[in-house]
Structure 1
C-alpha cells in the first residue's frame, strides 16, 4: 500500500510518523476522491429506503438493495464525512478470519471469503489485494480449552484451521518464542487481509451504478408520525455540506452510521423515552492505534507470516515486502484514549505493545516505529458484538452497527442481510436473529469468547 507521511515526531528516541492510508493505485484513488468530495447540494423529497452512513455497512446495504430490487426501490445514502477521513472502514487493518466463538460471526466471515473470491461478479473491477496468510491465535494454559472448542466449532461450520502445540509452532515459525504458549490455532484457508478502502469504494461505486443516490450531509433530527399503536419514524432532517437544511421522507430507514450510530439512535429517541425506547443504541467511538515498524533482523518473520495475536491481544503482521510490520492492541477498558481527534499516543506502543513484541519475537527487540495512524471502532458497550435487525419499537427502522472492530470482513453478509429484511421480511441466508436489538432490551449479552 502507498502511504503519505503527514508529520514526524520522536518519542523515547524512536522516530515515528502519522500517515493516512491510501489504496494501491494513487491514480485510482484520486479519481475516487474527485467524486467523493463533490458535495451534493440537493436532497430529494422522498425515498423508499434512507440509509444513514455510507461506510462499509451502509454502502453494502445500498449495493444489495439496488442489486436485488433495481428501480423498484429508491435508495438514498446520507454520509457526513464525504472524504471518509474519520470513517472506520478505510482506517481498519482489513482482516478476514473465521476464528470466532459465535456461529453467526463464523458464518458471516465465511461468506465474506466467498464474496471476495467472486468479487468481480459483484463489484466489477475491484482489486482487494487479498493476502491469504491466515491468522495465528495464541493461547495460554488458561485459554487452551477455549481455543480448542472454538476451533472445533469453526471447522464444523466450514472453516479450515489447525491447532498447533508449542513444538509444532516452533517448527513452522522458527522466529516465535513459545514461552507461556500452550496452543496456537492457524487459519489455513480463507483467512488473511485485504485493502478495506478498495472494498468500500467497490460497494459505493457499484451501488451508485445501480441507482443509489449518495448525499453529503448529516442527519440532525427525525420527524415522526403518530399512530394509535405509537410512533413511526417518517422523515429525516439533513444538514448538507453547503449549510442548507432539508428534509426527506422515507418508508424505511437503516442506521449504519458506524461509530456515530449511538448518536443517531439518540436522535430517534432510543434511550430517552419509555418502554422499548428506554434502551439506548449502545454504540460509541473507541479510538484504536495502529503502528508500523520495520525489522531487518536475523530470523525476522517472513513474507508469509500470519497475522499473529498474542495471549494479551497484541497483534502484528507483515505489511508488504519491505520489512515493514503492522501492530496494535486494544487498551484496557479503564484506559480508553479520548476520541475528540485522531492523534496517536506513541507512548502506548512503548509501554503496552513493544514489550510483548520483543518477548514473542527476538528480532523485534530493537525495532523502531516508522509510521502510525488512529481509527475508530464502532464499539458496542453492551457486549462488543454486532447489532443487526429491525428495531423492536420502530418497525420501519433497521440497525447495522456495533461490530467493535471485526465488522469490515462481514460487510458483504451484513448488507445482504439488511436487504433480505427489507425485501423479504426475514433473514434468508444466515439467521442473525440472535444479534438483534432484543438481546440488549432483555439484558442477554452475546459476547465473543476471547482466548487468553
Structure 2
C-alpha cells in the first residue's frame, strides 16, 4: 500500500491470478482462474466490466450517458448499444449455431446454406414490415456494419424482385396478398399472362392466371457476406469469438396463480452447462437473459425445461445448374405455383433452383446429404416446363441446409416465453429467418430494453399463440 494506492498479487498452483489496484478516484481489478477471466475498472463516471467463462463472453461499459453491452453465448450472437436517447442493435440469427461441429467456419450454418432471398411478398403484415425494415438495413449496410480502414461491405444485393406465379386455383389468394402488401407499403404489381409474356418472353405462361412482381426491395444477396460483415464488425470492437454446445441448464421454479386462479410454475434460468468443441470439459455459464436463436436446433433448450417448442429441422436442397441459353440479366427470383423456384447465380448462365418436398416426403435430417434423384424426378420437369430453355442444363453443384420449421404455422416466434421469465425466442421462421434477422434483432432488443415492441408491432408473433394453439398462418412459404 502506497499513499492512496493498494497493490496485491497472488498466484496458486491450480492457476489463480488476482490483482487489485486503487488510486485516487480509480479502481482496477483483475482475476483469472483456469478458463475464467474477470476484469473490472471504474474511474470517475466510467465503468468498464469484462467477463469470459468457457463459451460465453460478457462485456459491459458505461460512460456518461452511454451504455455499451455485448454478449455471445451458445446459440447466438447478441449485440446492443445505447447512447443518450439512441438505440443501436445488431442481431445475428442462425449464423452462430453451437450445435454444429466446426461452427467457427460456419460451413454448416443455415445462413450460408440458404438461397439468400429477400422479399416483401408475404401474406401477413408483420412479415412484410420485417422485410421492409431489413431491406433498408441492407441498402445502408455500411452505415451499420462498416469498419474503419477496412473495405466497404458489398452484399451484392440484386434487386431484380420476386416473381410469384398463380394458377386459377390460387389466384384469389394472390389478389388478397397483393392488397395486404400494398397497404403495408410494399411496391408490388400484378401481371396478366399477356403482360407476363411481354416482360419475360423466355417463359411458358401455360396455366398461369396471375403473377405478382416485386418492384423494389426484393431480390437476393450473398448470405456469407452478410454473416461475415456482422462478424467483422463485432471483432473490430474487441469481441472474442467463442463456441460451445449447451448440454444442460439450471433453473429455479416459483408457483404463481393464473388469471383464472390456476396454479402454474414460473421458471427462471440461472445458468447453462456448455461443452467446448473437441473437449470433454463442461463449464457452467451464468446468465441473466437467454435469447434462443438456435434455428433448427432451437427446440433443444426449452426441452431441457420440459417445455415443447414446435420448431424442427426440415432439410432443403439447393441445386446449381448451368444453362448457357437460359434467361438473361432481367431474371427475377421466380417462384412457380408448382413449388419450384430459381434465380440467377452470378453471370455466365448459372442459376440456383429447388423446391420443398411434399409433407409426407420430408427427407432425413440426420445429415446434410443431397438427394440428386429429387432434382431429376421433381425439380427439373417443373423447371423445364416453365422455362423451355432449361430442358438443356447441367447440374454443376448442390448442397443442403435446414429450415427452422415451425410446425404450428410456418411463422417466426419472437418474444419471451410466458412461463420462463428470462428466455426470449427468435426462431421458427421456416425459411425466411435470414432476410428478417436485422429487423428481428432490433425487435428483441426493444423487448429486453423497453419491455415491449416500439418500432414494429410483432406481438402477434409471440409465444402465447403457441400455448393457445392458435396458428397465425403465413400463406407464402417457399
| Shorter-normalised TM range | 0.7 to 0.9
Deviation at 1:64, TM superposition (A): 3.9
1:173-231 residue CA offsets vs partner (Å, 9 max, x unmatched):
00111110000011111111001111112223323444555421000001012445443
Indicate conservation of the 8 Å contact 1:53/1:258, yes or no. Answer: no
RMSD after superposition: 2.3
1:292 paired to 2:293: no
Distance 2:234 2:445 in 1: 13
1:234 paired to 2:246: no
Deviation at 1:232, TM superposition (A): 1.2
More helix by share: 1
Q: Give runs of aligned pairs for residues 224-373 of structure 1, distance below 5 A.
A: 224-229=251-256, 230-241=266-277, 242-270=279-307, 280-297=308-325, 300-373=326-399
Indicate conservation of the 8 Å contact 1:234/1:251, yes or no. Answer: yes
Equivalence for 1:378: 404
Equivalence for 1:169: 196
Distance 2:476 2:143 in 1: 35
SS in 2 for 1:202: helix
Go from structure 1 to structure 2 and tell me whether the alpha carbon gap of 1:365 and 1:335 turns closer, same or farther (over 3 Å shift): same
1:138 paired to 2:202: no
Equivalence for 1:42: 54
More strand by share: 2
1:360-408 residue CA offsets vs partner (Å, 9 max, x unmatched):
1111112221111111111111111101100110111100001010111
Deviation at 1:51, TM superposition (A): 5.6
SS in 1 for 2:415: strand
Indicate conservation of the 8 Å contact 1:63/1:210, yes or no. Answer: no
Deviation at 1:450, TM superposition (A): 3.7
Equivalence for 2:213: 186
SS in 1 for 2:194: helix
Equivalence for 2:441: 415
Go from structure 1 to structure 2 and tell me whether the alpha carbon gap of 1:105 and 1:380 turns closer, same or farther (over 3 Å shift): same
Distance 1:196 1:44 in 2: 25
Among 99, 103, 106, the residue aligned to 2:128 = 106
Indicate conservation of the 8 Å contact 1:52/1:255, yes or no. Answer: no
Go from structure 1 to structure 2 and tell me whether the alpha carbon gap of 1:385 and 1:43 turns closer, same or farther (over 3 Å shift): closer
Structure 1: gaps (5+ residues) = 1-39, 71-76, 271-279
Q: Give runs of aligned pairs for residues 395-434 of structure 1, distance below 5 A.
A: 395-434=421-460
- Taking structure 2 as the reference length, the TM-score comes to 0.77
Larger of the two Rg values belongs to structure: 2
Among 196, 205, 209, the residue aligned to 2:232 = 205
SS in 2 for 1:374: strand
Go from structure 1 to structure 2 and tell me whether the alpha carbon gap of 1:205 and 1:79 turns closer, same or farther (over 3 Å shift): farther
1:315-369 residue CA offsets vs partner (Å, 9 max, x unmatched):
0111111101110000011001101111100010011111111111111112221
SS in 2 for 1:216: coil
1:63 paired to 2:79: yes
SS in 2 for 1:63: strand
Among 75, 98, 110, the residue aligned to 1:79 = 98
Deviation at 1:262, TM superposition (A): 0.9
Deviation at 1:302, TM superposition (A): 0.5
Indicate conservation of the 8 Å contact 2:318/2:354, yes or no. Answer: yes
SS in 2 for 1:148: helix
Structure 2: gaps (5+ residues) = 1-51, 60-68, 89-95, 147-151, 257-265
Equivalence for 2:15: none
- Taking structure 1 as the reference length, the TM-score comes to 0.82
Distance 2:467 2:284 in 1: 30
Among 468, 474, 477, the residue aligned to 1:442 = 468
